[in-house]
Homo-oligomer: A and B are copies of this chain.
């Protein structure tokens, strides 16, 4: 954890992960001069995420391999943002598939150990990394497809919602949703905005208040995912969907995506520091700390 924190600080200082000011998609698209030679790219893997780029199709796959449940720790989030940034800057890469290498789970969401018994500085650093992940993924110039091959609560659901398209394995035991309210915590406004953009106001209002985890068939019904496939067809179908999206001219697709998502992205960019302060003051409350500790105890007992 300490190593991850140091890494994140180094990145913040070095400017490799610049904050997302200004129009996200427009700006970056404009900075890619056409006709540059393709940068070479090979598979790279850090601790938590395995990244493979198929240079013939221009499609990268980011496989979450952080057992037992791919929880979004500071280290995971930092690695995710760095990997995505590398792909974003690689002209050979036009699309990204995010999926899990851990059976039955896509991602369990934010790592509760990062939010429990830590310093204010740590909370700030962690929350900034959560924001960074979302800002990069939701504004990505690449086509982003989530191949949801397991359950995907809370922050895991947010990652799927931030992609351009969601394919889920049709196993009714796998569920997805922003279930924060179940834990006594509240999804921040930009989780909510992303959710509303996908399922509409009414479904979001009801689902967020109840902290619902929707089994795959229900998630399809509400439009939370775009389609269901048998697990053995997931890879093939994801590739076909990606090819369909990549058939479009990049520039027009990117500008269109930016037009659809800009308002919601701008809102967090404008209130980013405020949002961090809100998170810190909320998470530092003794009542919240207590309920998170109880929740962690419960998880430990379940495993034991």
* Cα-based distance from A209 to B187 in the complex (angstroms): 28
Q: Please, how many angstroms separate the alpha-carbon atoms of A105 and B253 in the complex?
A: 26
Docked complex Cα distance between A109 and B259 (Å) = 21
Cross-chain contact A248 with B208 (CB below 8 angstroms): no
Main secondary structure of the interface of A (DSSP, over half): helix
A11 at the interface (CB under 8 A from B): no
Nearest-neighbor residue (CB-CB) of A189 within chain B: B259
Contacts of A187 in B (CB 8 A): 256
Q: Whole-angstrom distance from the CB of A188 to the nearest CB of chain B? A: 9
A291: shortest Cβ distance to chain B, in Å?
8
Q: How far is the CA of A180 from the CA of B165 in the complex (A)?
A: 20
The answer on a CB contact under 8 Å between B182 and A260 is: no
Which residues of the other chain, B, contact A208 by a CB distance below 8 angstroms? 256, 259-260
The one of B198, B204, B226, B248 in contact with A209, judged by C-beta atoms closer than 8 angstroms, is B248
Interface status of A202 (Cβ within 8 A of chain B)? yes
The answer to whether the Cβ of A186 comes within 8 Å of any Cβ in the partner chain is yes
1/0 per residue A172-188: CB within 8 Å of B? Answer: 00000000111111110
Tell whether, in the assembled complex, residue B186 and residue A259 are in contact, meaning their CB atoms are under 8 Å apart: yes
Contacts beyond the supplied A192-B260, A197-B202, A211-B252: 16 A-B pairs with Cβ under 8 Å: A34-B287, A164-B206, A180-B252, A181-B253, A183-B252, A184-B249, A184-B252, A192-B259, A198-B202, A200-B202, A201-B260, A205-B257, A209-B245, A209-B248, A210-B245, A211-B248
